[in-house]
Amino acid sequence: MKEYFKHGTKVLFYGDSITDASRDRENPLHMGYGYANKIADIYTALYPNSGVQFYNRGIGGNRLSDLLDRYHEDVCPVKPDFVSVLVGINDTWRRYDRGLIVTEADFEKQYRDLLGRIRLDFLQSPIMVIEPFLLPTDPEKTVYWEDLTPKIEIVKSLAKEMADFYLPSGQLFDEAMKDGYSPFQLSEDGVHPTNTGHAYLAVKWLQMVGVL
């Protein structure tokens, strides 16, 4: 266990509804009720004098294109010292509920653009990429895998090339189920974690940077 962040570090969580987790968007310091909030709470409890500031800029329903569109509004003003990104499931989901197809080429271009902007604007800021995931609790979403699988491979490849940390959440949730968790304990709809699922993701995130 170690105090990974320097005093006063600004940590930004960027993504879709999984990160958003019902945060109060009128309050720029509200962390929501998901993994981002749990990470902030655990870290602050362990190191109450660290002065680390945590920011949540997740918005439900967002795809990569949305994160790119609001980058200058939501990321740049924070001037983060560490950026955690979780996005991708909606780029698949919108194909099946709205017919909006994001090709693998477009997905890779957009994700590369996002990571490239962060790297260019915040050269010294480490990046954590969290893999998009789908748990087996909704049979109707099984078809999503044909679109999601190649996108996960793209995320994994880009993280290896451009990020500092890669959290293989799908693999980690699989391990949790092998250890005795049921899929429904982790996510009722396969996409959005339960409180237990968020807690599990938060612990794995903190273990990734060596805090736990």
Domain positions in the chain: 10-208
Q: Per-residue pLDDT tens for 33-81?
A: 999 999 999 999 999 999 999 999 999 999 999 999 999 999 999 999 9
CA distance 141 to 126: 33
Q: Is the pTM of this model over 0.85?
A: yes
What pLDDT, on a 0 to 100 scale, did the predictor assign at position 130? 98
Rounded-to-integer distance, Cα 202 and Cα 34, Å: 8
Q: What is the pLDDT of residue 78?
A: 98
Residue among 211, 181, 179 at smallest CA distance from 197: 181
Q: What is the pLDDT of residues 96-133, one digit of tens each?
A: 999 999 999 999 999 999 999 999 999 999 999 999 99
Q: Is 2.60.110.10 the CATH number for 10-208?
A: no
What per-residue confidence (pLDDT) applies to 204?
A: 98
